[in-house]
Structure formats: C-alpha cells, structure tokens
Structure 1
Amino acid sequence: MPLASLAMPTTAHASSSYLVAVCEQYKNMIKVFPADKPWTPANEVWSWSPPAAVVAGVDTWGNLADVRFRNTTAFGWIALVTASSGKAGIVNIGDGDALLWSARPYGQPHAIERIPDRGVIVTASAVADSDNPDGPRHPAVKTVEGGKEVVRQGFLTIYAPQPGQSDNPASLTRVDEFEYNGAHGLWYDGTYLWALGEETLTRYAITGSDLGTRLVNTGVQLAVSGGHGIDADYHDPRYLLVTEGSRVRRFNKQTLRFESLPIGDPALTNRGVKSLSRDASGEYFWVKSTKDDAAGSDRTPDMDPNPGDSTFRNWVSDKVQFFDGNGAKTFARSLSGYGYNGEFYRARVETVGFS
C-alpha cells in the first residue's frame, strides 16, 4: 500500500499534510511520520529495520544513511536504502517489508538511486573501499596542492539486470564503477542522474541497456564545497536542493546555475546540514548535525542525545527542523514516547516522485 494513502489531516503546525521519512541511527531504523503530528509510536506510519548482517565483526547494515521511495511495475512501492557501514538494498513495502535485493558496495555507501524502466541501481560510496576483503579497487589518492596534502576518495557503482529482467532485482549484477570524490548524493530527475560529491555536482546520461548500462558524463559539472545532500524541490521542479559543508543552495536545472536560499543564517547556522527537502506545499525541512548548531563548536559527548550509548555519533541530530516557504523556522519534530531520543541523519518527503 502506498504510504501516502495513510497521510493524516492537517493541524495548525503545518500548512499541508505530508509524510516525512527519516534515517534514525540510534535504533537503526527507517521511520515515516506525518509532518503535522507529533512523532509518537501512535502516529508512526511505517518503519523498517534491516536484518543482521555481521561480517568480520562489522554490522554491515549499521548506520542507515539514505532512504527514498520509488514505484515499480512488479512490486509497487519499494524503498531504496543504504547503510554507511556497508550495505545497500531494496525493500518490498507492504509484503512483509522483505529485502528484494542487497549488495555491499564498500566504501561507506551514502546514497542510492534507481533508474526506472531499466531497473538499474546506482550507489554512491563516500570513501575508499579499504573495507573490501579482496583489496581496494578504489584506493584513496593523495596529492599535494598549494603546499597542502589533498586526499580524494569515493566512487559510484552501477548494478544492472540480466537481459529481460528489469523487473527482477535478484538479477542485478555489478557492471561498472568509477571514482567520484566524496560521493554523498544521487538524484534521478526523470531524464538525468545527478551525482554530488566533495568537489562537484555532475549530470550523467544513462546509456546502453541491461548489463551494458553505463553512466556518461554530459559535460555539466559544477563546483561545490563539501557536497552532502541532494533532493528534488517538489514545490518547484526546476530545482534541485543541495547541501554543502557550510551552506544550502538550490540548483536550477534549466539555467545550470546555483541560487541562494532564504533559509537559516548563511553566516552561522547553515553549517553541517545533512539533508534539505521541500514539500509541494512550499515548506522546507532539514537535518543539521547537533555539533554544528553553534558557530565554530564541535559536538562533545555531553551533547549525545542518548548518554551512555556505546556509539557517539557526532553527525546526527535529535530533531528535524521545519521552515515555511519564506525560510522562517516554524517548528521541529523529535521522537516522543519511545523511551529514547532519535538520532536522525537524513529526512526526505515520502513520495515516489522524481521532481
């Protein structure tokens, strides 16, 4: 059943009723909530926990890092998920939430996307695949530039189906991979695949078919600084929303230009935004790491949302901040009634739309 069919009525806190999907890393779950209701167990619309997959002492499904929903001919709605400890997968929503496919791209997978009709999956790994037991295929490359050492690492991986099997995720096979520095974000807009990394935002065309599917750089490549998150602007499909190390911007796919956004304080609070999304109503919301809530500060253990947790995640937040269409803060959502605080890494509008 499409999750959108479970959306709840509007309340005074949100101008429109829509659902938000979050990657919550304390309990390592994907959760979906209505934007206009408190995030309590009673209001939870859907959740998913990955299966155990411990390899050499590492939970390869640890630290869920990305989720998005897509529609398929064979299975209806699916969820695409990655975990930065190693795994990427496809979840069959509403049929026991079973994994239809999973793989281990290595190198801290941070994003996943599906190309419809072709059934192709692309993943983005942020660092070198030093966790590959067969030896790294994409080691870090160190250079000296301007008298400083620069390390470039990360890569994209393409999985394609066997001929005639585009609706069968079990047939997916790794067919290509190539370096992409600091790969953190992917978005398919219905025509092109956009990849976001440490230094660049790049537009790729999808060519070939089945096992011959490849990504081809179209020549559209723009400089960014610490690229992290990319998402559609569902209020204005001309744009993609892009988060970087210390700013958030929108990118016009028609003019191929970045534009500033009226959100937060660019001189202070736009540092450390992990994801930024915008609903069709015009409302924005983001996840910004707690360590970056104050200028120049680094998160310390006393900021841990769950003191005593053996893992101190300095890249998460216990809240999702919402903004109106003019960029003014309106309200925030945190977990309530769960007996623990959420540790959110990413949040997206729950929809199967590309833009």
Structure 2
Amino acid sequence: MNRRSLLKGAAAAVVGAPLASLALPTGAHAVGGTYDVAVCEQAKNQILIHPANADWTPQNRRWAWTPPSAVVNGFNTWTNLSDVRFRDTTAHGWVALVAASYGKVGMVDIGDGDALLWSARPYGNPHAIERIPGVGAVVVASSEQDTGFGGPGNHPAVTTIEGGKPVTRQGFLTVYAPRPGQSDNPASLTKVDEFEFNGAHGLWYDGTYLWVLGTDLLVRYACTGTALGFRLADSGVRIPVSNGHGLDADYGDSRYLLLTEGGTVRRLDKSGTTPQLWTPTGAGVKSYSRTASGESFWLQAINVTDPVNFPDPDKGYWNTYVQFFDGAGSKYFTRPLTGYGYDAKFYKARVSGVAFS
C-alpha cells in the first residue's frame, strides 16, 4: 500500500483520536457508524482493519499486517499479537504500534511497504505499547517478569508481606528513547529505563500525561526530559483498581478515559480520582472503545460468552466476534470475520486512527 492512499495531517481533538472513514464499499451492509475498527487477530496472528458499518470480509478490509518470524529458543516471539494503536508521525506519517505476548514489540510504517521501522524484545508478556510525540519515546507495559516462551525475562518478581501474607508482584514498564537529534528516527530507540509495575496491561498518552493500568493500580505519569534523558515521573495520582486490563480514550468526551477491570467497565474523569461504573459492563472484557457518536464496542472473552464449550479461562481468552453497542449501551450488532474461511480469535479491538482514501 502506497502512502499516497492515506489521508495525512488532519488534527484530532484527542491524542490518537480517529479520523473520519470514507464511504462504504459498494454493496456493503450499512449497520453502525462511519469509523474503522482495528483488531488483534490471533488465529492467523495478524492486525486487521475493517469499517464498522460493513461486513468484515476480505473485500471490505482496509489494511492487514502480519509480523515477521523472530524465533528464540524454538518459539516465534512475534506470536499472539496483543495490542495495536495508530499514531501520526512527522517523518513517517501513520505508524502502527504493535505488541505480541510472546515477547516482541514494534513500529510499522503504514503505507510505505508496511516496513517494520523498529522492534524490541522487552520480555514479560507485552500487553500495551504507546508513543510520546515530540520526544519520540516509546513505552511498553509487560504483565509478567518472564514470558515463559522465549527464554527468561530480565526483571524478577517482587514478593512482599501484605496483611501478614506474602504477595508476589510482577510486571514492569520499559522505556525506549531516541538518541539526541533523532526523535523522528525509530531506529535510534534505545532502552533507557525499566521498573516494576504490577501486572502492567494498559497504556494511554492523553497529550500531557501517560496513564498506566495494572492489576491493582492506575497511575498517571508525567513525561520528563528529552532524547536519552526521557523518563516517567510519578505525578502522585494513583487510583486503586481491581484486575485492570484495557485502557483507552473516550472519543465521545476527551475529559475521560475508559478502563476495563475483571468484571466491569469504568469511566475516569482525568481531573478526578474515582472511576465510575460504566454501561455496558461485564466480565472478561479485554478491551472497550467508545466512539465520538457514543456508539461503543468491546472484546469479551469467549469463556465468558460461551462457558459450556470454553470452560478453561487459559484457552478462551479471545472471541470470534466483536460486540457493538448503541449510544444507550444496549447490544447493537456483532462483527465476526466473514468470507475468510476460518473463525477469528480476536484478542483486542480499537477504533482505528488511520483514514484511508
């Protein structure tokens, strides 16, 4: 795909906010809003983008990307794509930030041969990746100290005594920053910091702060320094959560973030400290997104939606479809893959930030 087929340079009200998608393909079934959805699909290990208001067929697909193989100790460290988000950069236009649970993270140059501009292996089951514009730094959230697949991790679990009982905390944040004068050159990214963050699963940069969601805390970090001096500084906002998993902007209202916990979806006023219960809500939600129109969608684990056929949580953390909701939070429609010849294993779904011509 040539970059000339992408629309570039439009300003967004929220950092990472989606641009408007264009008209539906001829003959598409129009249900849902005019925006695109990106999914991490693990059956074929790929990132796919389709319009929300058309069947998810190969003919309606906007973009697809499959990572290269990177085998370590007999395992492909690009296996099980777990996060994707899109950011508009000065030097490369639209890029996709991607993470894979088996250990790899990277940056893809959308529309210029879809080249992999940069990749790294932070270990620890990477679950989220974010870029800090201007500085050009990248932060990765890893939920474990060891992937268990491609070799030992590089950060030990930490055990403390809490309430008279031992509690083991694991997971960490890894910070990559560019060399001086190379903020637009992903190839210059170098690991500059790494620190423990229990069960780190979600990241979101809101234009000022980086929010990090873990098993028991949502923490707001200030972004300080430039080039190799870039660091995250705890701003003092630390909000208790319960089994945090997904974190995203609320595109319906830029004052809020949306987060998923073990059995709920919550909405956080960024100026406050108490997330409020949001509708819809439910157990096993891996990601939740709300669009500018108020329509929303989530990815809920199939062991929750189909517990009889998928009783094992370790084998049913994905689903074959994405569930959409109307502005009132009522079930609206679903999107499985259609015409691909196999059932999807969707792990995460996001509003796409890329507009295609």
TM-score by length of 1: 0.90
- Pick from 1, 6, 20: which aligns with 1:2? 6
What CA deviation, in whole Å up to 9, does each residue of 1:92-134 have, x standing for no partner?
0001101000000000110000000100000000001366989
Where in structure 1 are there 5+ consecutive unaligned residues? Answer: 265-269, 304-311
| Residue 221 of structure 1 pairs with residue 238 of structure 2 | yes
Measure the CA separation in 2 of the matches of 1:93 and 1:130: 28
What does the per-residue CA deviation read over 1:269-312, in whole Å, with 9 as the maximum and x for residues that have no partner? Answer: x11100000111110100000111268x79337x9xxxxxxxx8
Contact in 2 for aligned 1:229/1:274 (Cα 8 Å): yes
The answer to whether the 8 A contact 1:7-1:19 is kept is no
Partner of 2:318: 316
3-state SS of paired residue (1:70):
strand
Q: Which one of 322, 331, 334 corresponds to residue 333 of structure 2?
A: 331
User: Structure 1 residues 137 and 60, CA, compared in 2 at 3 Å: closer, same or farther?
Assistant: closer
1:287 aligns with 2:299: yes
Aligned ranges 1:29-40 → 2 under 5 Å: 29-40=46-57
Distance 1:190 1:318 in 2: 33
- 2:20 and 2:35 in contact (8 A); partners too: no
- Residue-by-residue CA offset, 1:57-79 (whole Å, 9 max, x unaligned): 11100000000000000000000
Contact 1:106 1:131 in 2 (8 A): no
User: What is the rounded CA distance, in whole Å, between the counterparts of 2:240 and 2:127 in structure 1?
Assistant: 20
Gaps of 5+ in 2: 8-18
Q: How do 1:54-203 and structure 2 match up within 5 A?
A: 54-129=71-146, 136-146=153-163, 148-203=165-220
Residue 252 of structure 1 and its aligned partner are, at CA, apart by: 0.5
How far 1:8 sits from its partner (Å)? 3.2
* 1:286–1:144 CA distance, 2 compared to 1 (3 A): same
Say whether the 8 Å CA contact 1:82–1:110 is kept in structure 2: yes
SS of match in other structure, 1:292: helix
Provide the rounded CA distance (Å) in 1 between the counterparts of 2:47 and 2:39: 6
Contact 1:129 1:136 in 2 (8 A): yes
CA contact (8 A) 1:8 1:34 kept: no
Instruction: Give the superposition deviation at 1:262.
Output: 1.9
Q: 1:294 to 1:149 in 2, by over 3 A?
A: farther
CA root-mean-square deviation: 2.2
Deviation at 1:329, TM superposition (A): 0.4
In structure 1, C-alpha distance between the alignment counterparts of 2:249 and 2:56, rounded to whole Å: 24
1:307 maps to none
Partner of residue 299, structure 1: 310
Displacement of 1:334 = 0.2
Query: SS of the counterpart of 1:42?
Result: coil
- Deviation string 1:194-242 (CA, Å, 9 cap, x unpaired) is 0000000000001011001000000000000100000001011111010
Q: Per-residue deviation at 1:143?
A: 3.8
1: CA distance, partners of 2:91 / 2:349: 27
Partner of 1:13: 31
Question: Which amino acid in structure 2 is aligned with residue 328 of structure 1?
Answer: S
Task: Find the residue that maps to 1:211 and give its secondary structure.
Answer: helix
Counterpart residue identity of residue 88, structure 2: N
Tell me how far apart the structure 2 counterparts of residues 11 and 48 of structure 1 sit (CA, whole Å): 25
**Are the counterparts in 2 of residues 32 and 47 from structure 1 also a CA contact under 8 Å?**
yes
Given that residues 201 and 245 in structure 2 are in contact (C-alpha distance below 8 angstroms), is that contact kept between their aligned partners in structure 1? yes
Distance, in Å, in 2 between the alignment partners of 1:102 and 1:110 is 15
Q: Which runs of 4+ in 1 moved over 3 A?
A: 1-12, 129-137, 143-149
> Per chain length, whose mean CA-contact separation is higher, i.e. which structure has more relative contact order (CA < 8 Å, sep 6+)?
2
Matched position secondary structure for 1:257: coil
Between the aligned partners of 1:352 and 1:216, the Cα distance in structure 2 is 30
Residue 211 of structure 1 corresponds to 228
**Structure-1 separation of matches of 2:85 and 2:131:** 10
Shift, 1:141, TM fit: 2.1
> Is 248-257 or 83-92 further displaced after alignment?
248-257
Deviates most, 144-153 or 39-48: 144-153
Aligned AA (1:207): T
State the percentage of identical aligned residues: 58
Deviation readout 1:242-276 (Å, 9 max, x if unpaired): 00111111111022331111214xxxxx1110000
Matches of 2:79 and 2:149, distance apart in 1: 16
Match for residue 25 of structure 1 among 15, 33, 42: 42
